[in-house]
């Protein structure tokens, strides 16, 4: 019988941490459909450790930080997941993630909610205005600055971090172009196809899966645009999905991360994060260290009734 919720896991290191996450998902969700893209070029994993509900993308795609290959790895895992099963919903995790809400509550919220997709996403704008009550996400405590940075990162070819420039600059064959009309031939964006960005991790239903499984072919120009950009994984599927008419999207991706004082990655989850995790009703949290989060994991397991 198809799983209510299937899982995509992206990993490249720490096989013991990956095995721990899969074991917990098996206990909590009663052996759901799981598709893993593990980059075997970086670390070996004995796939015989894993139960029959788990599939691995083979051959794996060589991935690296801040590279569009991570998107292709996710899409390969998504296709594998739906070849092996037909879950109502799927969620994307890293091996450094961990569940923090009971499976019954997660599935009930997904089924009863009005949304197709839980995706942290914001419009990339040259002069963004403040957002009232921004979603808890990688934009941290500076949503205006983050969105301005996103504009430089994905739309303006000249990237300065964090940039507060007011001009639009795009370098093409050593020509600096500042006019929006002259810029348009070099980019996929238009009034009906805008650039969006946000946290990489998300949850979607079968409708979302159908869109993504043909996305590389249907939106080839968008994929090409993001190649070579810094952190393309924080914008490719956001742009594709947020521009889909009729797709009901919640900006809360149901992930807890602590970005206080951080820029490139969230803080490791500690005991003091458990209160905010409960308050925000997050489904999953990240990130957990491979060997230094044992006491926090044990407390979460007690919270979930696994101990």
Q: What is the mean pLDDT of residues 19-27?
A: 97
With the C-alpha atoms ordered 265, 194, 251, 69, is the resulting torsion angle positive or negative?
A: negative
- Rounded CA gap, 152 and 127, in Å? 11
- Rounded CA gap, 188 and 254, in Å? 29
- Rounded CA gap, 122 and 188, in Å? 17
**pLDDT tens for residues 157-206?**
544 433 333 333 444 433 444 445 555 566 899 889 999 999 999 999 99
Stated pTM of the model: 0.90
Furthest CA-CA distance within the chain: 63
Mean pLDDT of the chain: 87
* pLDDT value at residue 260: 79
pLDDT at 45 over 70: yes
Contact (CB, 8 A) for 255 and 199:
yes
Q: What is the mean pLDDT of residues 58-78?
A: 95
pLDDT at 38 over 90: yes
**pLDDT tens for residues 124-164?**
887 777 766 666 665 555 567 777 778 878 887 544 433 33
Q: What is the mean pLDDT of residues 17-28?
A: 97
Query: Which of 120, 81, 301, 270 lies closest to 198 in space, CA to CA?
Result: 120
* pLDDT value at residue 291: 79
């Amino acid at each position: 019988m198809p799983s209510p919720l299937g899982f995509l896991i992206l990993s490249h290191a720490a096989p013991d941490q990956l095995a721990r996450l899969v074991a917990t998902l098996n206990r909590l969700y009663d052996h759901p459909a799981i598709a893993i893209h593990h980059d075997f070029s970086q670390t070996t994993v004995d796939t015989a450790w894993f139960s029959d509900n788990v599939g691995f993308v083979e051959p794996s795609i060589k991935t690296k930080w801040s590279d569009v290959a991570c998107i292709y790895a996710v899409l390969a895992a998504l296709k594998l997941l739906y070849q092996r099963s037909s879950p109502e919903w799927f969620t994307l995790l890293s091996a450094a993630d961990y569940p923090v809400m009971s499976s019954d509550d997660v599935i009930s919220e997904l089924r009863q909610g009005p949304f197709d997709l839980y995706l942290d996403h914001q419009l990339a704008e040259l002069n963004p205005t403040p957002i009232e009550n921004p979603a808890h996400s990688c934009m941290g405590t500076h949503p205006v600055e983050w969105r301005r940075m996103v504009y430089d990162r994905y739309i303006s070819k000249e990237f300065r971090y964090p940039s507060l420039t007011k001009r639009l600059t795009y370098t093409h064959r050593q020509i600096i172009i500042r006019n929006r009309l002259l810029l348009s031939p070099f980019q996929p964006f238009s009034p009906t196809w805008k650039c969006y960005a946000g946290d990489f991790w998300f949850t979607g239903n079968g409708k979302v899966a159908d869109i993504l499984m043909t996305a590389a072919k249907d939106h080839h120009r968008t994929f090409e645009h993001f190649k070579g950009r810094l952190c393309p994984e924080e914008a490719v599927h956001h742009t594709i999905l947020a521009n889909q008419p009729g797709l009901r999207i919640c900006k809360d991706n149901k992930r807890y991360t602590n970005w206080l004082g951080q820029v490139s990655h969230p803080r490791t989850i500690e005991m003091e994060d458990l209160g905010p995790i409960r308050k925000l009703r997050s489904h999953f949290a990240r990130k957990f260290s491979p060997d230094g989060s044992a006491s926090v994991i044990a407390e979460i397991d007690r919270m979930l009734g696994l101990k």
